[in-house]
Structure formats: structure tokens, C-alpha cells
Structure 1
Amino acid sequence: MAVGEKVIEILANQALLDVGDVNLDDNLASLGIDSLGLVESIFAIEEEFDIQVPFNANEPEKSEFDISSVAAIVTAVETLVKDQAS
């Protein structure tokens, strides 16, 4: 399973949605994922890919980890996975 597909699966599970209901242009609010759900999603992503996400739950707007859309999250995770492999 590709990184993007797994990230979408994690977000869909958190939002209690089918994977097919999650689009790359969705934002977390449109999926119904609140701040606690975001933190749980970050933990799940870290565990799944064995990475450390540079995310400050208290100040997400100041984080290096872009959470503006599903596509941005996928890109950020892909980058972290690639960086870890090198």
C-alpha cells in the first residue's frame, strides 16, 4: 500500500468515514476531525511509518507539518518517510 493510501486510510478511520469519502482537497474540519482527532491521527501516522512528525499540538499553525489539506498531509508524510530512508 502506498504512503498516500495509508495516510488516507488512517484519516478515514479517525473520521469514521469510508476511504472513498476522503478526497485530497479535503481539510480536517470538513472530515470532522477535531484537534484531539488530529493528535490521534498523528500518533497513528508515526506508528504506521515509524517516523517522528514535527507537530506541536498546542500551536499547529506554527508547525513544520502542513495540515491544511489531506494532500498536504500526504506530501508531508511522504517527505518524512523518504528522508528517513536516506
Structure 2
Amino acid sequence: MTDTVKSRIKELIAEQAMLEPDQISDEATPEELGIDSLGLVESIFAIEEEFDITIPFNANEPEKSEFDISTMGTIIAAVERLVAEKAA
């Protein structure tokens, strides 16, 4: 399941960043991919819709959110946790 989740998240992020999914590494930050704050919020909405989850993210104060957006790897790991919790 996690490979599917990971690849789908990369596809959604790539679409927002106007890149190919294979251009997105786990170490890349949203800024490095050219995703601004609005693009990040749109990406989060797309991920929530895709996986039918609610991401605990405060766009006004991202540093206070429970959702780590520092790299693609942390975003993927957090979404995988939320998807697993929903399935349990």
C-alpha cells in the first residue's frame, strides 16, 4: 500500500510543481520544487481529497501544525500514517 500512497502523493505534488513525479525526491522541500504557500495548500487539499483524510495543517501558522511539511519525505510519511490510521 505505501508504494501506491507514495507514488500518488508524488504525482499530486508533481502536478502542482509542474514537474514529472520522478523529479521529486524525498529530500526535496516544497520551496525547492517551486511550490509556494498557496500551492502547498492546494496540494494538501488534493491529498486530502485523494485519500479521504483530514490533514492537521494550519496554513496561517505552519510551524504550529502537527503535519511536518519540511520535505517530501516527511509529507509522505505523515500521509501514510493518516491513511493507516483511517484503515485501522
Which TM-score tier does this pair reach, normalised by the shorter chain? over 0.9
Distance 1:65 1:3 in 2: 17
Distance 1:34 1:84 in 2: 29
Paired residues for 1:49-68 under 5 Å: 49-68=51-70
| Structure 1: runs of 5 or more not aligned | none
Moved over 6 A (4+): none
Which SS does the other structure have where 1:57 is aligned? coil
What fraction of aligned residue pairs are identical, expressed as a percent? Answer: 57
Letter in 1 for 2:20: D
Aligned residues: 86
- Offset of 1:3 from its aligned partner? 0.4
1:10-62 deviations in Å (ceiling 9; x for gaps): 11000000111111100000000000000000000000000000000000111
TM-score of the two chains, using structure 2 as the length reference: 0.95
